[in-house]
């Protein structure tokens, strides 16, 4: 009995060693393949080029955000304004006007950053994202700038309102090259705030042609670099490091010590033993994740309207037939490996949602750029065009195409104004709808 048990253990260890060797080779091949496309899969490579302090817009925006004065009650009002900012403005409440006034100095400091040509938030992506900005502060700065823009619209100060929106767009642009999903979502949210104000500005005021030209340029620059693609490259390298951490047995460090674990905490012997036994499965999940992430990155660059059904999607899943011994590995892949691979799938599901947010962001930018171009056309020629094609190439390089439908937004002239209607994807929330529907009466 003891001899049989030893033989069984030895056989299992041999199988484990063979599987570990095979999984390691497969993983190394996948890492090497992705390395030829995206460079080393190391968070240290995410560092942005250094920027002289006198040219660094991000330093100014960080300072401006730290100057905000917002107490708990005001923050609730600010959150309410952010959630309701999609609705056409009917005038700010006294509390919101006071909040905008109290933070005028922070707004002025942020305005100084508009003239700085480069940006680097100086985050150490290789060491637990050290020097990461305080997200609540930088997000609040964008909302406060939108508040001030709305206040200027209420007062009829059109060019002042546009200038404040430009400051908000400059803050968003300062995150442009940062390879982090949270910062890119923050960037898109700040741009959204300013687009809301631009919509009210066109509906209720008459901004000058010169300032609208600046707004048009800032909106166009909000497209590049692509926020979702930038975030995906960062996440690919970050998550590769997380899996590597797991392979070393540092589960505790990954969960409580920060993004890459606590460098001062060594894995316990129990964690190392479990890792050694399960390392083949971790490596399989790691490789599956990298391959899936590479597919998502490639797919994200092709807009939904231009896609065709994937052969992988059409292929039926493998079914288990006990009499066929050669399907044992497939069965193992579908059962034992599946639970651990769910870790990779959870990562990938979040990335798919981020891709959807990027398509919505593009649709919203399309409508905003078209609305500004239409007003510039009217200021020059006294009337709105009969068709969007008349805007190119003077007011737009080309008429933007909706990523979901493959067609431009619907455009109709309405009395002295116009109406633009983008195409909302089915999964979109109601709060996002107003930025796809621009009804301008003047």
Same domain? 84 vs 125: yes
Is the separation of the CB atoms in 177 and 122 below 8 Å?
A: no
Asked if residue 91 is part of any domain, the answer here is yes
Sequence-separated (6 or more) residues with CB below 8 Å from residue 139: 186, 189, 190
Asked if residue 354 is part of any domain, the answer here is yes
Same domain? 254 vs 174: no
The residue from 190, 225, 260 where one domain ends is 225
Same domain? 437 vs 357: yes
Same domain? 81 vs 216: yes
CA dihedral 49, 355, 134, 119 (to 10 degrees): 30
Asked if residue 332 is part of any domain, the answer here is no
**Kind of pairing, strands 437-440 and 417-421?**
antiparallel
Asked if residue 383 is part of any domain, the answer here is yes
What pLDDT score does 248 carry? 78
Asked if residue 252 is part of any domain, the answer here is yes
Same domain? 237 vs 94: no
Sequence-separated (6 or more) residues with CB below 8 Å from residue 300: 228, 229, 232, 355, 358
Is the separation of the CB atoms in 191 and 365 below 8 Å?
A: yes
The residue from 193, 225, 257 where one domain ends is 225
Same domain? 85 vs 126: yes
The residue from 176, 196, 225 where one domain ends is 225
Asked if residue 104 is part of any domain, the answer here is yes
What pLDDT score does 78 carry? 74
* Number of domains comprising the chain: 3
Sequence-separated (6 or more) residues with CB below 8 Å from residue 372: 198, 202, 212, 215, 216, 219
| The two structure tokens encoding residue 105 | 């100095």
Q: In what order do the strands lie in the sheet with 417-421?
A: 410-414, 417-421, 437-440
The pTM for the full model equals 0.86
Strand partners, 130: 124
Strand partners, 412: 419
> Which residue range forms the structural domain that includes residue 442?
348-442
CA distance 138 to 178: 14
Asked if residue 320 is part of any domain, the answer here is no
Same domain? 67 vs 106: yes
Same domain? 31 vs 79: no
What pLDDT score does 302 carry? 83
What pLDDT score does 334 carry? 47
CA distance 267 to 261: 10
Same domain? 49 vs 30: no
pLDDT per 10-residue tile (average), the chain, 442 residues: 79 84 91 93 93 96 94 76 58 80 94 94 89 93 92 93 96 96 94 93 94 96 94 92 82 47 60 80 89 88 71 37 38 46 56 81 94 96 95 94 88 93 67 77 88
| The two structure tokens encoding residue 79 | 């959150």
What pLDDT score does 350 carry? 63
What pLDDT score does 255 carry? 45
Same domain? 198 vs 125: yes
Same domain? 28 vs 46: no
Asked if residue 331 is part of any domain, the answer here is no
CA distance 187 to 176: 7
Same domain? 78 vs 219: yes
What pLDDT score does 313 carry? 40
């Amino acid at each position: 009995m003891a001899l049989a048990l030893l033989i069984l253990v030895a056989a299992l260890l041999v199988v484990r060693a063979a599987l570990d060797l095979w999984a390691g080779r497969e993983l190394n091949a996948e890492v090497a393949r992705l390395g030829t496309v995206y460079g080393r899969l190391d968070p240290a490579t995410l560092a942005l080029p250094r920027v002289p302090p006198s040219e660094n817009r991000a330093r100014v925006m960080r300072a401006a955000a730290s100057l905000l004065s917002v107490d708990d009650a005001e923050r609730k009002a600010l959150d309410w304004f952010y959630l309701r900012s999609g609705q056409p403005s009917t005038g700010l409440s006294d509390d919101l006007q006071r909040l905008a006034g109290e933070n005028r100095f922070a707004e002025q400091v942020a305005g100084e950053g508009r003239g700085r040509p480069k940006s680097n938030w100086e985050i150490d992506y290789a060491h637990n994202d050290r020097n990461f900005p305080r997200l609540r502060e930088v997000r609040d700065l964008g909302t406060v700038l939108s508040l001030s823009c709305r206040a200027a619209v209420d007062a009829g100060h059109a060019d002042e309102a546009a200038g404040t929106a430009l400051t908000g767009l400059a803050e968003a642009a300062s995150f442009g090259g940062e390879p982090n999903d949270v910062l890119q979502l923050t960037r898109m949210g700040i741009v959204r705030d300013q687009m809301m104000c631009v919509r009210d500005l066109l509906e209720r005021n008459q901004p000058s042609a010169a300032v609208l030209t600046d707004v048009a340029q800032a909106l166009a620059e909000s497209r590049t670099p692509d926020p979702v693609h930038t975030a995906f490259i960062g996440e690919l390298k970050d998550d590769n490091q997380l899996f590597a951490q797991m392979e070393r047995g540092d589960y505790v460090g990954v969960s409580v010590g920060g993004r890459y674990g606590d460098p001062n905490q060594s894995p316990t012997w129990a964690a190392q033993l479990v890792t050694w036994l399960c390392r083949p499965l971790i490596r399989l999940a790691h490789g599956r994740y990298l391959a899936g992430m590479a597919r998502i990155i490639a797919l994200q660059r092709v807009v939904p309207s231009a896609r065709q059904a994937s052969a992988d999607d059409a292929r039926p899943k493998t079914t288990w037939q006990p009499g066929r011994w050669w399907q044992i590995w497939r069965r193992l892949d579908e059962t034992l490996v599946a639970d651990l691979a769910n870790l990779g799938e959870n990562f990938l599901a979040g990335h798919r949602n981020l891709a959807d947010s990027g398509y919505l962001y593009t649709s919203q930018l399309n409508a905003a750029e078209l609305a500004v171009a239409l007003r510039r056309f009217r200021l020059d020629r006294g009337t709105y065009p009969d068709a969007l094609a008349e805007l190119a190439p003077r007011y737009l390089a080309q008429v933007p195409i909706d990523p979901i439908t493959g067609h431009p937004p619907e455009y109709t002239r309405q009395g002295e104004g116009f109406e633009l209607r983008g195409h909302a994807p089915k999964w979109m929330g109601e709060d996002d709808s107003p930025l796809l529907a621009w009804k301008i009466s003047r």
